[in-house]
Amino acid sequence: MNRIGVIGAGAFGSALAIALARGGATVTLWGRDADQVAAMDRTRENARYLPGLPLPEGLAVTGALDALSGADLLLCVVPAQATRRFLEAHAAALPKVPLVLCAKGIERDTGALMSDIAADHWPKDGIAVLSGPGFASELARGLPTALSLAGHDAACASMLQQALSTDRLRLYLSDDPTGVQLGGALKNVIAIACGLAVGAGLGESARAALMTRGFAEMTRLAAAMGARAETLTGLSGLGDLALTCTSRQSRNFAAGMDRASGAVPAEGQTVEGAATAAAAVALAQAHGQEAPIAAAVADVLAGHLSIHEAMDRLLSRPLRQET
């Protein structure tokens, strides 16, 4: 199980490919952008997303999906909003080996999790999800990282844990893929909220309050959708929330700060929380849950509220018991 195919040559896909190849696996990294793939193959560097970090031996870069035909397992690192489109177009051509979904998002139009989308094209027992606190640049540099891996089939998940763990990448198993996915997706929305607050000069106390109440909001919605509340206290929930709400390395936090300051956001960066905010609000309504922070983020991003109006709306909510 040491032949790994990684689908998606963005920052996180490239970082996973680098980390796994450095750990001894034979890795093939597929990218859809022919120019980017050619440049990576020529310079042995992903200059667009991970400049200055050389690609290790054992890592091949390709633009041809059939190069993944010999893989023992696949990592799908396509953005959440593009996952359905990718699988509809290409799943039939991929080997039916275990598939690990790495995008942290909820489909905007349907509210579907990535595992729900993949189940239309893949054996359910062969689907797993990977999430948790890991910045791409740190993972690619070999800094220690721990992530959550969850699947419905215990034997498959255990095999994947062994195949994907290295001396710098430690994977912890979970049997709650719904909770692991919701933790990874919903924390992006809270990270945008924190970026908006900090960028607008609302202070560190506001950030701490948003993180704490945001975590409660995440946990309520996840439990209503069938996840275990304790899953959200793990790496893919609380761990990832702590990371992404406190560093500008987080695309979602940076997007909030840029929105607040009027800065032009970086081109080509996927901000999963922007689409997930509206999806989270719809899911909360469907499950009879309140999601005031997600609703505020969605309204700010849609231009319906200013940041200060959103904060005023949150602060004017009825006083209540902390839960």
Are the C-beta atoms of 128 and 100 separated by less than 8 Å?
yes
9 labelled ligand-binding: yes
Tokens 């761990």 correspond to what residue?
239
Rounded Cα gap, residues 83 and 101, in angstroms: 9
Edge-to-edge, what's the strand order for the sheet holding 59-62?
59-62, 26-30, 3-7, 73-76, 99-101, 127-131, 145-151, 169-174
CA 184 remoteness from chain centre: 6
13 labelled ligand-binding: yes
Q: How many CA atoms lie within 13 A of 167 on its CB side?
A: 3
Rounded Cα gap, residues 177 and 17, in angstroms: 22
Rounded Cα gap, residues 49 and 184, in angstroms: 21
Neighbouring CB atoms inside 10 A of 135's CB total 19
12 labelled ligand-binding: yes
Rounded Cα gap, residues 220 and 227, in angstroms: 10
Q: Measure CA of the first residue to CA of the last residue in the chain; give whole Å.
A: 44
272 labelled ligand-binding: yes
Rounded Cα gap, residues 2 and 164, in angstroms: 9
Catalytic: 96?
no
Rounded Cα gap, residues 294 and 300, in angstroms: 10
240 labelled ligand-binding: yes
259 labelled ligand-binding: no
104 labelled ligand-binding: yes
251 labelled ligand-binding: yes
250 labelled ligand-binding: yes
Choosing from 84, 152, 187, 220, which is the catalytic residue? 187
Rounded Cα gap, residues 99 and 77, in angstroms: 11
Alpha-carbon distances, residue 96 vs 28, 38, 147, 306 (angstroms)? 16, 27, 24, 47
Binding region for sn-glycerol 3-phosphate: 104, 132, 187, 240, 250-252
Binding region for NADPH: 12, 32, 49, 104, 136, 251, 272
Binding region: 8-13, 32, 49, 104, 132, 136, 187, 240, 250-252, 272
Catalytic residues: 187
Binding region for substrate: 104, 251-252
